[in-house]
Amino acid sequence: MSIDQATLDLLGQQAIELPSWAFGNAGTRFRVFGTPGTPRTIQEKLADAAQVNTYTGLAPSVALHIPWDLVDDFGELAAYAKDLGVRLGTINSNTFQDNDYKFGSLTHHDDRIRQKAIDHHFECIDVMNVTGSQDLKIWLPDGTNYAGQGDIRGRQDRLADSLHTIYDRLGPNQRLVLEYKIYEPYFYTMDVPDWGTSFAHVSALGDRAMVCLDTGHHAPHTNIEFIVAQLLRLGKLGSFDFNSRNYGDDDLIVGAADPFQLFRIIYEVIRGGGYGEGSQVAFMLDQCHNIEDKIPGQIRSVLNVQEMTARALMVDREALAAAQEANDVLGANDIVMDAFYTDVRPDLATWRESRGLPADPMKAFLASGYMAKVAEERVGGTQSGWGA
């Protein structure tokens, strides 16, 4: 089975946002490993991200993390990104690296600390106003470790109030996307632990508040594609943070642990109208490259998403609907599995060449000498990592 022209046309609409922090040093709780040529500034992160887009044609925007990526002039930074062939995308807030937030940020019972967290999000919106960014993404680290430590309902009430205040500051073309995570950094309760809690809060806010689904933030054995289908039904799936997991929030390369899951997720996105021009669903990576090289890690990631999208687009939906209507259990499954097992790589290589891209983006990048060049140039200073 070959990729037809209609599918190739749809693939041409794909865009996957890269996270600036993926190009800095990352690690585990035990060790962060440095590598030669790691960016020291946001400008160098953008230069590395632009390499991914140059060789794949899939990554035209880069998400920023505030305050990690703070600069004096974001207009100048946006112009710098444009010169590299990319643009600035989602603005991510950070309320998990300040001592004041030890016991909560947007949910804190202390009015001063809660207002400090709200003001930080106002600062992020100010950045959006300069960069033209559409989305303010909030991952809330707030929670508790012990029963009785905090008033569960009171924390939800304060969160609702804080989110309303932030939402009201957004411009007419800006969105708030609320991420969730089942555990970590707290282990008894997280204040936004699941898609239902996120959905409840964004539904109360308005049409421009959406859920962000991080594919590594669920309990084991969660049927993530079911959540995708439900949120699309409800019109509240705003964005993805793509990564892969074996145990917890591992932040591995997307599709590395379970490519079939990635295929199933993307199929439901397509089935639910969340893919293509005019879609409200933004694709973004959220990964940390602990031991692998960072630019190749991002190239592998976007190509994995592209490949599984191609396979998902090849599902014969008419035949599948007929099999489902006839209660043909194995026949329906065969249609899905036939698409999943199709090797689309040769067709994608030919298609890339027709668009002026290398047939093998990874091979072409590695042959470019870029990594050796930046390793030689980026000597001295402080390498970027978690928190910078």
Q: Would strands 16-19 and 61-65 be described as parallel, antiparallel, or unpaired?
A: parallel
AA letter at 235:
G
Please tell me the predicted confidence (pLDDT) of residue 385. Answer: 85
Domain 13-315 is found in CATH 2.70.98.90: no
Distance CA 108, CA 185 (A): 15
Q: Which two tokens stand for residue 15?
A: 């865009």
Q: What ranges do the domains of the chain cover?
A: 13-315
Distance CA 111, CA 361 (A): 51
Please tell me the predicted confidence (pLDDT) of residue 387. Answer: 66
Distance CA 367, CA 122 (A): 44
Residues 6+ apart with CB under 8 A from 46: 20, 62, 77, 80, 81, 84, 86
Q: Is the pTM of this model over 0.85?
A: yes
Distance CA 287, CA 249 (A): 10
3-state secondary structure of 90: strand
Please tell me the predicted confidence (pLDDT) of residue 388. Answer: 57
What are the average pLDDT values for consecutive 10-residue runs of the chain, which has 388 residues?
90 97 87 91 98 98 97 98 98 96 98 98 98 98 98 98 98 98 97 98 98 96 97 98 94 95 98 94 95 96 98 97 98 98 97 98 98 96 80
